[in-house]
Amino acid sequence: MTFTPHGKHLIAGEWVGGGAEFRSEPAHGPAHAFQVGTVAQVAQAAEAAEDAFWSYGYSTRADRAAFLNAIADEIEARAEAITEIGTQESGLPVARLQGERGRTTGQLRLFASHILKGDYLDRRVDAALPDRQPAPRPEIRLMERPIGPVAVFGASNFPLAFSTAGGDTAAALAAGCPVVVKGHSAHPGTAEIVAEAINAARIACGLHPGVFSLIQGGNRAVGQAVVQHPLIKAVGFTGSLAGGRALFDLCAQRPEPIPFFGELGSVNPMFLLPAAVAARGAEIGRGWAGSLSMGAGQFCTNPGIAVVIEGPEADAFVAAAKAALAQVGAQVMLTDGIAAAYRQGRDRVASSAGVQEVLTSVCDLRNATPYLFETTGAAWLANHALGEEVFGPLGLIVKVRDADEMMRIARSLQGQLTCTLHLDAGDTRQARALMPVLERKAGRVLANGFPTGVEVCDAMVHGGPYPASTNFGATSVGTLSIRRFLRPVSYQNIPAAILPDDLA
């Protein structure tokens, strides 16, 4: 089945057009015209979402679970068409889009089953103590409640799993919050067909039309209007540090500040400990090369930094990584802008004092090829810019003199999504010393693996201290992400007849 976009916004159940247009820039296949969003359309969508909240926010968990499952069903019913336009717009291979679609529908179904269990409500009851002295205690009950309409920004690097019906949208809908999505201009056709799936599910479930709206991009003012509209109560965002920080500041400057759950950037450093490097340094090097170049390095958990103690074992690790990366051909990046930013990042690293080239290549237009650089611990500590993310398949090896300098590198890190230890039994003492530092720096700490491939499950944390994310107490992946869009409410001496059904 071939899908031809009509290029309109979905607002409160209606496909709306009639304004200015922008054209998509696919990696291959035809370009299409799409409507440019307006501030007035943002207001219309936000007002419809607020109206929908009075029914959807107080719907049953069973009804919301049915809606999430219906969205998954409707996405699967459009599977081939979604893959076709998704690969055209993003340049991602078919297998990647198929896997990402499975992840998208899988997390919708996971969230549906999770809310049916009810544990996420964190229900608590303190019984009344009428005879307590010197004063009686009233009965107090607590439960998490949805906060209201949520805005979600589509991500450039995950056109399905972090976009229109991705993790932020699924979490907000599971919590009971209507959603206004600001689509990403890198994949507007994919956003449109997924919005069609959500709207079909909404109609089948008999829900208020304001429960979901999609406003296409093409205008920076739309994003600003979304986060500043007084009816929007929280924002989910995955994107660049600069763009996310600007939106975060707007959220904080509102007359009523709101939470901005931004996942912004990370270099995901790996610490290679001596016994592990001596035993299997070449194996680690080859594994790192695969993770570093996966998907043209366009993963937020791309492990861009490897810290290793200098010596022959470290040299073997470097040689193996170089040989493996040399076999990786050019890969198409998500947009021309991302490809240009990758080359700029490459030039910034290559021109930094104390940095040496290990593997160079040639890339142009929308293509990316791997680059590998090496520096010393002293040069790293002297240049804060070496710790800034380069979005793409670029790796930097930091060779340190000893365990003490490795610890200084760890302490110097900004907030990260992940930190990884490669260790064997002989490295336990050094690993134990590093662990308190790494868990302060990252939301997820790994051993003997690679951080690409974020599992959607109950125990996952995909977030971390700033600048990895803007809220270190939250995750954008896994069932815990639902709690971002809830707030605790206490009910004191409320008669059972008027308590929320989930708390009675």
- Tell me the pLDDT tens digit for each residue of 369-427: 999 999 999 999 999 999 999 999 999 999 999 999 999 999 999 999 999 999 999 99
- The per-residue pLDDT for range 447-470, each reduced to its tens digit, is 999 999 999 999 999 999 999 999
Using the predicted structure, report yes or no on whether residue 441 has a pLDDT greater than 80.
yes
- The per-residue pLDDT for range 298-313, each reduced to its tens digit, is 999 999 999 999 999 9
> What is the pLDDT at residue 374?
98
What are the tokens at 130? 């009428």
> What is the pLDDT at residue 1?
67
Q: What percent of the chain has pLDDT over 70?
A: 100
Question: What is the rounded CA–CA span in Å between residue 86 and residue 132?
Answer: 64
> What is the pLDDT at residue 217?
85
Using the predicted structure, report yes or no on whether residue 218 has a pLDDT greater than 80.
no
Mean pLDDT of 242-259: 96
> What is the pLDDT at residue 308?
98
Question: What is the rounded CA–CA span in Å between residue 412 and residue 380?
Answer: 9
Report whether 380 contacts 410 (CB < 8 A): no
Type of residue numbered 488: P
Integer angstrom CA distances of residue 346 from 189, 235, 371: 31, 32, 8
Using the predicted structure, report yes or no on whether residue 211 has a pLDDT greater than 70.
yes
Which residues are known catalytic residues? 263, 300
Residue 103 neighbours by CB distance under 10 Å:
20
- The per-residue pLDDT for range 180-197, each reduced to its tens digit, is 999 999 999 999 999 999
Q: What is the residue-averaged pLDDT of the chain?
A: 96
Mean pLDDT of 277-306: 97
- The per-residue pLDDT for range 332-344, each reduced to its tens digit, is 999 999 999 999 9
Between strands 416-422 and 305-309, the pairing is unpaired
Mean pLDDT of 110-124: 98
Question: What is the rounded CA–CA span in Å between residue 198 and residue 177?
Answer: 14
Q: What are phi and psi of 7, to 5 degrees?
A: 80, 15
Indicate the pLDDT class of residue 135, thresholds 50, 70 and 90.
Answer: very high
- The per-residue pLDDT for range 146-172, each reduced to its tens digit, is 999 999 999 999 999 999 999 999 999
Indicate the pLDDT class of residue 504, thresholds 50, 70 and 90.
Answer: confident
Question: What is the rounded CA–CA span in Å between residue 475 and residue 300?
Answer: 13
Q: What percent of the chain has pLDDT over 90?
A: 97
> What is the pLDDT at residue 378?
98
Residue 267 neighbours by CB distance under 10 Å:
23
> What is the pLDDT at residue 406?
98
- The per-residue pLDDT for range 58-81, each reduced to its tens digit, is 999 999 999 999 999 999 999 999
